[in-house]
Amino acid sequence: MLKGGVIMDVVTAEHARIAQEAGACAVMALERVPADIRKEGGVARMSDPTLIRSIMDAVTIPVMAKCRIGHFVEAQILEAL
């Protein structure tokens, strides 16, 4: 389904709508852009579930989100969305 498409990193519902209109086949809901996280020496955490839900409500393309390895409670929260 996603072969040959572009998956865009987004941090807001508006970014997700723009990505969809530009032809993205899916979006990755993130708290912050990975380049900014690396620049500041931080770690990637799961995005706020309300942000993920707002992105899901804003677009019709698939929305993906990350959770940290081994954090099964975060995974359960994502599954519930």
Residues annotated as catalytic (active site), given as ranges: 66
CB atoms within 10 A of CB 24: 19
Angstrom distance (rounded) from CA 7 to CA 23: 9
Angstrom distance (rounded) from CA 60 to CA 68: 26
Contact 54, 32 (CB under 8 A): no
